[in-house]
Amino acid sequence: MCIFLCAGAAAAVLTFLTLHAKTFPVSESIGSQLKQTVVNDIVAFQSAFLTPLNQLLTVSNTLNGNKLAKLQNTIGELMTPHTFLENQTLTHDGIQEPAFAILDELKSYATLYPTVNNNQLDCANMNITPNAAVRMTVDATTGCFRCKTCSTLMDLVAISQDRWKRNPFQVQLDLLIAQRQMLEFASTEKTLVPAIVAFRDQIDDSFKEFAQRTIEIAGRYDKFRDELHQVSFFGCLGLMGLAGLATLLAVAGFIHGISSKKRHLARMSCCIAEMAVVVAVLLVGVLYTVAMMSQDGIEALRLFENDTTIFLAPSLAAQNVQRVLLDANLVRANRVDSILAFADTLRVPPHPTPSTDSPSRFDIDALYLSAFQELFTFRDNTVSTDKVIVDLFGWDESFAADQRTSPVAMAFGNASVTSPYNGTLHQELLNSSISRLLDPDNDAKLVTNDDLAMIQTVFNKTWRGVADQGAHQNNLIITQWYFAAHVYAQKLRLREYTAVVVEIISRIRSLLDAPIEKTRAMESAEFQVKADVEYFTDAIRDSKIHDCSYNGNCGWLRASINELFALFQELIAHAERAAITRAIAAVCTLLGLVFTNCFANRLRRNTVKVYIGS
């Protein structure tokens, strides 16, 4: 009997330790999870999600008191006048057409390299060695100089077109896109603020209701938990006291009964053991109730997952909480994504780059001029035509001068033969200026067949003492004159070519003035509202970044539900284990009671004989 009572007392102590070390902390963790973690997460999410919208609606002093509606009205007034980019598209650049139409004209000159006006001559098929002798013989007479700068002139045009697309055209598109987006933003002047206010209030009310309901449930749970805690705690203390006292009395009763044959201690132990059994059975019921109610808590969580309206009366609040539980985007679910979509796309140039978040404003003049920088440099280097024909085409003036004086040497260079060309006309033509060299008949036409015929007529005298009467020498003079005339005629063409190229490139600059001025005005208008616009777009984007379905922002509710599931399951396990040990304590105490009672009944009683006289 003592063994069973000792086992019952030990089971009672084990139950108390289980409750104190495991069951009670888990039950307190459930309350803390409801009252603190969930509520704090609700407040934190609500603050992160709605604070940017609240700041947007109240508008900080950094914006000089501009309200959103006022900003939209200002944007409409500033953006509407700038229409010169309306027809700009990715496939059609109307601003660049006049400038590049001039460059198309330049192409026809560039492909000449330049050449003489001879349609039968194709410089592209001529293999010209780039040395002085070839340049001043083949090149000068044919015009196929094929200098590097001239042959790459079309490359300069291609570079200008590419830079135009990369710089001015891209900036124009950025300004145009920003203008259209801001005009669309300004058109929502009467609807944007009410929509944001309604959405903000709806989300705010939903989470306030959810937090209030959670606090209410947590309060009810705490109240019920405290009651069960007190019953279990004091019940365990009472059971341990009764079980220990019953055990001590049983041991004392056993020793006293054996020695004195008296059983009053054993009887007292039975009475206390009976009370311990009753208390143990009651505590088994209490702990089993805790396990069952924990199971009810799990079922309640499952019901909450399936239908939040069971816990939240307002349907909108229940729907929003359900969306948070499912990590569904609140902006999209409440159909305000189209209204707030401008915040994701509206950006006023200049845009941030990988190297800086605050780039400098556009230098519109430098932006436009940079597209034609190589052409303008080419133009500046081509202003001095006498120098440029040397730099570009390798013109050798000494070679040309030698060719010009060669007819004189041919006419008077032989001292043994008297020259027949001592006449005034002969001397005038042989020692003529370049203009007379190119036009000996003074008909204002340079190096024509008539000029050749005149030269052939003038230099057709008979040479005395020469076998062929000087026919060969006359032919050399005429040929040399013709070659020298062609050399200087080509020099004129080179000068005309460079002058035309300079004039064509110079015409581009004047065409850029109007686009530069209009682009500068449009950029200035957009920059005036850049800071204000980006303040509002950043605020809305900051709010959307903290919305659900992004970066696990709403995983906190699912994590809390899962944590509550785990805590309730752990509480069930501990409560069932405590109930089992309490049942063992009850059984052991009951067996100890039975054996103690049997022991008390088996003690010998003093025999009293009563004699009755008859």
Residue pair 272/240 in contact by the 8 Å Cβ criterion: no
Give how many domains the chain has, as a whole number. Answer: 2
Q: Last residue of a domain, which of 511, 540, 567?
A: 511
Same domain for 209 and 330:
yes
User: Within a domain: residue 287?
Assistant: yes
CA distance 104 to 107: 5
pLDDT in tens, 47-89: 999 998 888 887 644 444 457 778 888 888 889 898 888 877 8
Same domain for 326 and 422:
no
CA distance 275 to 254: 20
Query: Residue 349: is the preceding peptide bond cis (ω within 30°)?
Result: no
Same domain for 425 and 326:
no
User: Within a domain: residue 162?
Assistant: no
Phi, psi angles (nearest 5°) of residue 605? -100, 150
Residue pair 246/273 in contact by the 8 Å Cβ criterion: yes
Q: Last residue of a domain, which of 511, 528, 560?
A: 511
Same domain for 585 and 486:
no
pLDDT score for 273: 65
**Residue 73: partners with Cβ closer than 8 Å, 6 or more residues away:** 186, 189
Same domain for 330 and 210:
yes
Same domain for 212 and 262:
yes
Same domain for 579 and 507:
no
Residue pair 459/451 in contact by the 8 Å Cβ criterion: no
User: Within a domain: residue 117?
Assistant: no
**Residue 467: partners with Cβ closer than 8 Å, 6 or more residues away:** none
Burial of 351 (0-12, 13-18, 19+ CB in 10 A): exposed
Neighbours of 226 (CB within 10 A): 12
Same domain for 564 and 454:
no
User: Within a domain: residue 13?
Assistant: yes
Residue pair 209/109 in contact by the 8 Å Cβ criterion: no
Same domain for 330 and 209:
yes
Q: Last residue of a domain, which of 511, 540, 560?
A: 511
CA distance 192 to 299: 43
Same domain for 330 and 207:
yes
pLDDT score for 199: 92
Residue type, 146: R
User: Within a domain: residue 30?
Assistant: yes
pLDDT score for 260: 57
Degrees to nearest 5, angle at CA 206 with 203 and 208: 105
CA torsion, points 559, 564, 570, 572, in degrees to nearest 10? -150
Same domain for 313 and 208:
yes
Report how far Cα 557 is from the mean position of its chain's Cα atoms. Answer: 28
pLDDT score for 115: 45
Same domain for 592 and 476:
no
User: Within a domain: residue 109?
Assistant: no
For helices 513-545 and 39-58, the axis angle rounded to 10 degrees is 150
**Residue 216: partners with Cβ closer than 8 Å, 6 or more residues away:** none
Task: Mark the ranges of the chain whose per-residue pLDDT is less than 50.
Answer: 60-65, 112-117
CA distance 288 to 571: 11
User: Within a domain: residue 380?
Assistant: no
User: Within a domain: residue 443?
Assistant: yes
pLDDT score for 116: 45
CA distance 288 to 586: 14
89: nearest Cα among 176, 159, 168? 176
CA distance 296 to 290: 10
CA distance 2 to 8: 10
Phi, psi angles (nearest 5°) of residue 146? 50, 50
Inter-CA distances, 218 with 35, 46, 301, 315, 397, Å: 5, 20, 13, 22, 104
Neighbours of 88 (CB within 10 A): 17
Quote the mean pLDDT of the chain: 79
**Residue that the structure tokens 């007392």 belong to:** 9
Per DSSP (E only), the strands in 435-534 are none
pLDDT in tens, 488-517: 888 888 888 788 888 888 888 888 888 999
Q: Which two tokens stand for residue 237?
A: 């203390």
Residue pair 141/487 in contact by the 8 Å Cβ criterion: yes
Q: Which domain holds residue 47?
A: 2-62+203-334+548-602
pLDDT score for 132: 66
